[in-house]
Amino acid sequence: MQLREDIRNIAIIAHVDHGKTTLVDQLLKYSGTFRDNEHVDERAMDSNDLEKERGITILAKNTAINYNDTRINILDTPGHADFGGEVERVLKMVDGVLLVVDAYEGAMPQTRFVLKKALEQKLTPVVVVNKIDKPSARPEHVIDEVLDLFIELGADDDQLEFPVVYASALNGTSGEEPEGQVESMDAIFKTIMDNIPAPIDNSDEGLQFQVTILDYNDFLGRIGVGRIFRGAVKVGDQVALMKKDGSVKNFRITKLFGFIGLKRIEITEAKAGDIVAVAGLEDINVGETVCSVNAQEALPVPRIDEPTLQMTFLVNNSPFAGKEGKYITSRKIEERLLNQLETDVSLRVDPTDSPDAWTVSGRGELHLSILIENMRREGYELQLSKPQVILKEIDGKMCEPVERVQADVPEDYTGAVMESLGSRKGEMVDMINQGNGQVRLEFRVPSRGLIGYSTEFMSQTRGFGILNHTFDGYEPVIAGQVGGRAKGVLVALEQGKASTYGIMKLEDRGIIFVAPGTDVYAGMIVGEHSRDNDLTVNITVEKHLTNVRSANKDQTSTIRKTRDLSLEEAIEYLNDDEYCEVTPESIRLRKKILNKNEREKATKKKKA
């Protein structure tokens, strides 16, 4: 069996914020791929605005570097379980993985998630213990944790013999031992070359190329990025596209691209083992296979985990509809959602009884909120309902998604966190005292119990806690209410501008969400009530001016700071009878029924 020793294909996998993207920066820098005078941004692989702002990877991306005489194709993957669809597809393209683990935090929930996927694909692992320069680094413990995780996830004997490299991606140092780090990435490059298998060279057989990532270009149309598993391809070749529905379309390869550094370079031919981009077919989709016309054999379509959470997306029909957005019609919103389906394999969009509403299902709150944030930045206006978990029938029983939750909290706050997760039907799995006043709690909690929990968790731990969770499977539905909002809301009585006087009069009643001068409408939520019932309030009321001089006229009126809700917080905050109105400029909460009398009638009817 002939191998292509001039190529290695690897993916970098890790829990969020363990340093994958920074490590790729250093591998690019030390490989000599860039010229000495070439400027490279930090976290160069995180290319879109949301990735840069949040410091997370959302989309899987590929790059390639030359090390000595070998081309190393590197795929940077997201760490969040919400983007698991991206991780699964990418792992199909590679022969090995670099598992990056924080030298202090060790194995975390998403470490488990991404490693499980890699072991299922029988990929060769290399463990990189990153952030070794941290004063709190504990490399020996972390390696033990990682080994336990490998055993727990059913790794075979070869996978258990994983090599370990120590690094500080931030400082650009690496070494085979925790001490004696050298300013270079040679230890990692050498470990990749010695351990990651080279791809098989079967380029004399019929072509098989599978599309794993989709891209779009205004000049070239849709571009399919993937790996050539068999055979070779040249520009101008006539090939067959094996569609998911079983149909076959013939087309000609108009452009072929390879990768080097952060650039896509035009090439004329490629063969087995290469990761390339192909242009020339309009309706190419993820998972489809491009073959030789005379050897039509489709590769298995990658299995993608099902969505676990759904929301209703609606056309905005509030009194302020159309004032701030560019795209507000049902046709435009539907078009945008269907476009998203072309590149996002973990998303589902289903029509409803109404032509102005769609059920959108995704892998979690972050997955859906990233889509919504992108839409509002593009000029869309829409309304959203409360997120609901997706139930599934397994062996005749109705089951719900369950998540594995890991909370790192200061000792003083463990009681409050345990109590609140217990009330959300959480089951404690483990409790580890990590010393230095920190405790790690592990729970299994129904997904619906975690909707809206992160804000409560941050309050309970005074901002010192770290909460991570990842999908763990389906279990029979637990009866009764799980989680949900405990407090009622303050609802505006009429349209107008929120006044300082109106806000001051309401401060004793709860927490206010709107600043003075904000436009409000009847039925809009303007704050959180201190009790568990909703209260309709007049926030637009102005102080009546009289000619009577006030005894305390020299005192300046001051109001407390209002609470600003981010998009995720607003979505989490919703109750069943509420919508979140999202426009390019504003995020507003509102009642589904805006009229006070009609709302009260509906509430009485429901109770009856």
CA distance 452 to 568: 9
CA distance 14 to 36: 30
CA distance 514 to 490: 11
The response to whether 217 counts as a known ligand-binding position is no
The response to whether 18 counts as a known ligand-binding position is yes
Q: List the beta bridge partners of residue 222.
A: 216
CA atoms within 13 A on the CB side of 112: 18
Rg (CA), the chain: 27
CA distance 507 to 383: 28
Pairing state of beta strands 96-102 and 7-14? Answer: parallel
Please say whether the beta carbons of 213 and 60 come within 8 A. Answer: yes
CA distance 261 to 377: 29
Angle at 562 between CA 561 and CA 563, to 5 degrees: 120
The response to whether 317 counts as a known ligand-binding position is no
The response to whether 312 counts as a known ligand-binding position is no
Tokens 């309030």 sit at which residue? 537
Tokens 């299902």 sit at which residue? 361
* Secondary structure of residue 195 in the 3-state scheme: helix
Chain Cα centroid distance, residue 44? 18
The response to whether 561 counts as a known ligand-binding position is no
CA distance 502 to 161: 68
* Secondary structure of residue 328 in the 3-state scheme: coil
Strands (DSSP E) contained in 42-142 are 61-67, 70-76, 96-102, 124-130
Burial of 209 (0-12, 13-18, 19+ CB in 10 A): buried
Which amino acid appears at position 50 of this protein? L
The response to whether 20 counts as a known ligand-binding position is yes
CA distance 191 to 309: 40
The response to whether 487 counts as a known ligand-binding position is no
Please say whether the beta carbons of 184 and 30 come within 8 A. Answer: yes
CA distance 183 to 169: 10
CA distance 341 to 349: 8
* Secondary structure of residue 146 in the 3-state scheme: helix
Please say whether the beta carbons of 381 and 583 come within 8 A. Answer: yes
User: Which residues are within 8 A (CB) of 289 and not within 5 positions of it... i.e. 6 or more apart?
Assistant: 208, 209, 210, 211, 241, 242, 297, 298, 299
CA distance 409 to 529: 29
The response to whether 132 counts as a known ligand-binding position is yes
The response to whether 435 counts as a known ligand-binding position is no
Q: Identify which of 203, 255, 199, 258 has the alpha carbon closest to the alpha carbon of residue 226.
A: 258
Q: Which CB contacts under 8 angstroms, 24+ apart, belong to 560-565?
A: 560/507, 560/512, 562/503, 562/512, 562/513, 562/514, 562/515, 563/511, 563/512, 563/513, 563/527, 563/528, 564/513, 565/513, 565/589
The response to whether 131 counts as a known ligand-binding position is yes
Q: Which residues are annotated as a binding site for GTP?
A: 17-22, 130-133
Q: Which residues are annotated as a binding site?
A: 17-22, 130-133
